[in-house]
Chains A and B, each alone.
Chain A
Amino acid sequence: MLLKELPRARVLMEHKHNHSRHHSYNGKNFIILPIIFCVLINLICYLMLAPSLSAFVSVGSLFFSDAQKDFSKDFNNIFVPVSEPSNTDSQAQQSAETIKISEITFPKYNEQFGELIIKDCQIDAKLFFGDGDIPLNNGVGIYGGSAIPGYGKTILVAGHNNTYFNGLKYAQVGQQIKIRTSYGNFVYEITDIQIKESTDTSAYDLSADSENLILYTCYPFDELGLTSKRCFVYAKPVSNLEIDKNN
């Protein structure tokens, strides 16, 4: 029994010896250095893990966001499809066609007024005016500070990357985008695809005086959470359909 207790007593003695030796060190080594060490290690860990942590932080922000979200599926729909020409693909060769502005019912915020179709990307979504919660939860939405199709300005369309605009990952230059509205059917052709920061103002020009369509969604496409990058798909009009603003 006594033999068994011997190693334990030795450990205790060593501990006591170390403890008395520690008293000889000054406080700087015990307080300041460990703090500096702790900060440095935490900093290194943060820098190493930051790329992986950001995904968790962004997912967490979905749960702890203070912004009020509207999950409503109730919205006004003014979209009444109009018949398409028999050969839509050859619209480019057709002469310019105008629609009198007086004959158009301008959409209000959160109203569905058309649909956006990209066959090659398996996208077929309701098109809304406005890009708040209701439009993006039920389809894709035109930014209220841009223009409606045919108006001769920039059309900026947003959609979620995991739902209605997930198919933009298949977008390629030359593919056609079809927008159907109650006042006419428009065809655009993809001219460029770019990945940019969401804050990059060079990604769009809202003061442009020629018709151009920009679709965008968060990038990477299948990433869960909120990302800082966006995939912008640029397109030019192919159909010669335009709104006559003077009549």
Chain B
Amino acid sequence: MKKIKRIFSTVALAAVVTVSASTSAFAAGINSAEQKILDTLNTTVTMNGVEKSIPAGYLNQAENYFNTVEITDEEADKIVSAIDDAKAYLESTGAANVGALTVDQANTVVSKVQAGLSVIGLTLQYTKSTGAVSIVDKSGNTVFSTTLAASGSSSAGGNTAGENPIKTTGLGFNVPGIAVIAGLGIVLVSATGLYVIKRASKSKSTYGTQA
């Protein structure tokens, strides 16, 4: 019994060591399969007669993610096939850009993209109200994040979808003091307004009585 336990422990340890070693080796840069996917993403799609390309920021996000995983040739082929399928469908819609797709067309594109993502265990999430698009892995970690431009996507230019990489860096929302001061200011202004109105009405009634 002890011997079986020892053998089992040795096998388990070997498996852990192998997986750990292969995981760190897997993350080593972009392999040929991953490069194939990047090259496919880098090709253009013709929408309503105009050639569109994926924004450089999106390609960089894909490259950053591929640096953390290892994709096999078989997986890459399935993903490339899904990308080509989605591109062909986009071209067939006749829409000028992604923002101009109907709800049904957008859902079809999403399902085609999801088919490619599911090959490597990724899930596409889209919030229509905010236009936020994200892709998460099995552990729930975000591997891609963007916000699609408003319908019509004039800012998208020659891109399939538009996102402004420049964020709102105005006020640190982590400064509760500013919110408190601003809140107090609003209360103070309101109180002053009420006081003035009350005083005015009081003096009016006094004047009325005198008259």
The 5 A-B residue pairs with the shortest CB-CB distance, nearest first, are: A145-B57, A102-B28, A207-B56, A206-B56, A226-B170
Least distance between A5 CB and chain B CB atoms (Å): 11
Given A102-B27, A143-B57, A203-B166, is A62 in contact with B67 using a C-beta cutoff of 8 Å? no
* Residue B173, interface by CB 8 Å: yes
List 20 extra interface pairs beyond A106-B27, A143-B167, CB under 8 A: A59-B182, A62-B182, A102-B29, A106-B64, A131-B167, A145-B55, A147-B60, A159-B169, A160-B170, A162-B170, A199-B166, A201-B157, A206-B60, A207-B56, A217-B169, A218-B169, A223-B170, A224-B171, A225-B170, A246-B29
**Given the complex, which residues of A lie within 8 Å of B28, measured CB to CB?**
100-102, 247
Q: CB within 8 A of A160: which of B61, B143, B172, B179?
A: B172
Chain A interface SS verdict (over half): loop
| Distance in angstroms between the alpha carbons of A132 and B173 in the assembled complex | 12
A interface residues (Cβ-Cβ under 8 A, vs B):
58-59, 62-63, 67, 69, 71, 100-102, 104-106, 108-110, 130-133, 136-138, 143-148, 153, 156, 158-163, 165, 198-199, 201, 203-207, 216-218, 223-227, 230, 245-247
Chain A residues, Cβ within 8 Å of B61: 144-145
Sort chain B's interface into a size bin: 35 or more
Q: Is B190 an interface residue (CB 8 A)?
A: no
Q: Which residues of B contact A203 (CB under 8 A)?
A: 166
A58–B167 CB distance below 8 A? no
What 1/0 mask marks residues of chain B from 60 to 95 whose CB sits below 8 Å from any chain A CB? 110010011000000000000000000000000000
Checking A71, A109, A205 against B173 with a beta-carbon cut-off of 8 angstroms, the contacting residue is A71
Residue of B nearest to A206 (CB): B56
Q: Whole-angstrom distance between the alpha carbons of A132 and B59 in the complex?
A: 19
For residue B18, which residues in chain A have a CB less than 8 angstroms away from its CB? none
CA–CA, A63 and B165, complex, Å: 24
A163 adjacent to B27 (CB under 8 Å): no
B209 within 8 A of A: no
Q: Determine whether B1 belongs to the interface, using a CB cutoff of 8 Å to chain A.
A: no
Q: From residue 113 to 163 of chain B, which have CB atoms closer than 8 A to chain A? A: 130, 141-146, 155, 157, 163
- B24 on interface, CB distance cutoff 8 Å: yes
Given contacts A109-B145, A145-B56, A245-B30, whether A158 and B67 have CB atoms under 8 Å apart is no
Chain B residue nearest in CB terms to A144: B61
Choice from A100, A109, A147, A160 contacting B171 with Cβ under 8 Å = A160
- Among residues of A, the one whose C-beta sits closest to the C-beta of B164 is A199
Nearest residue (CB) in B for A110 is: B142
Q: Tell me the chain B residues, 162-191 only, with Cβ under 8 Å from chain A.
A: 163-175, 178-179, 182
Give me the interface of B with A, judged by CB distance under 8 Å: 24-25, 27-30, 55-61, 64, 67-68, 130, 141-146, 155, 157, 163-175, 178-179, 182
Q: In the assembled complex, how far is the CB of residue B173 from the closest CB belonging to chain A, in whole angstroms? A: 5
Option from A138, A146, A158, A207 in Cβ contact (under 8 Å) with B169? A158
| Shortest Cβ gap from A223 to chain B (Å) | 8
**A contact residues around B25 at 8 Å (CB):** 102
Q: List 22 A-B contacts (CB under 8 A).
A: A100-B28, A102-B25, A104-B27, A106-B27, A108-B141, A108-B143, A110-B142, A130-B145, A137-B173, A143-B57, A143-B165, A145-B58, A148-B64, A160-B170, A160-B171, A165-B169, A206-B55, A224-B178, A226-B168, A226-B170, A245-B29, A246-B29
Q: When the two chains form their complex, are residues B60 and A146 in contact, meaning their CB atoms are under 8 A apart?
A: yes
A59 partner residues in chain B, CB cutoff 8 A: 182
With a cutoff of 8 Å between Cβ atoms, the chain B residues found around residue A67 in the complex are 130
| Most central of A58, A131, A247 by chain B CB within 10 Å | A131
Find the A residue at minimum CB distance from B129: A66
Known: A106-B67, A132-B145. A163 touches B166 (CB 8 A): no
| Complex: chain A residue closest to B142, CB-CB | A109
Complex: how many Å from CA A105 to CA B68?
A: 8
